[in-house]
Amino acid sequence: MNYRTRAAEPAEEDVSLKAVEASDLSVVYGDGDNAVHAVKGVTFTVGDGEAFGIVGESGSGKSTVLRVLAGLNRDWTGRLLIRGREAEKRRPRRSYRVVQMVFQDPYGSLHPRQTVQRILMEGLAVQEMDDRRRRIQRVLYDVGLGGEFLYRYPHQLSGGQRQRVAIARGLILEPRL
């Protein structure tokens, strides 16, 4: 593959393309004596279509790595390629259609004063995606929830239902990762 092809937007059918290539990824919180190396020199590759697990004890940096991949942590060093493109620390809005993250605690990540419909509509509006009502209905169906959940608030849902809404929010933009 020549340089021009790699620098351009990757073609959907390019199966040789890696979903993620991280090398020497490091994240440090704090300065000097107060510095904490949350992630130090992590390197891994995930092929397109592969499932990849990050395993470690509590506090070992798993979530920090995922926050870097999702563009939620801008303070990192190393090299990160997502779908063959160099990941910028300050990501353009369109990049959030490529990578989405579902947090472990759905209650903490869902706005308590927004309905399920509003929660799901937000990403679609920011990304200026069309056919929003159909997309919301489809993603609710995909996660096993029906239209009766549209006007409910997070506190009106069970823990499992909240997790499904959080997953739906991650899926609704049809991300590659």
* Number of Cα atoms under 13 Å in the Cβ half of residue 175: 24
Candidates 126, 121, 158, 125; CA nearest to 139 is: 121
Find which of 101-105, 109-113, 138-142 is predicted with most confidence, using mean pLDDT: 138-142
**In angstroms, rounded to a whole number, what is the distance separating the alpha carbons of residues 108 and 120?**
16
**In angstroms, rounded to a whole number, what is the distance separating the alpha carbons of residues 145 and 142?**
8
Q: What is the mean pLDDT of residues 169-173?
A: 90
Q: What is the mean pLDDT of residues 41-52?
A: 92
Reduced to 3 states, what is the DSSP secondary structure of residue 36? Answer: strand
pLDDT tens per residue, range 114-161: 999 999 998 888 888 888 999 999 999 999 998 899 999 999 999 999
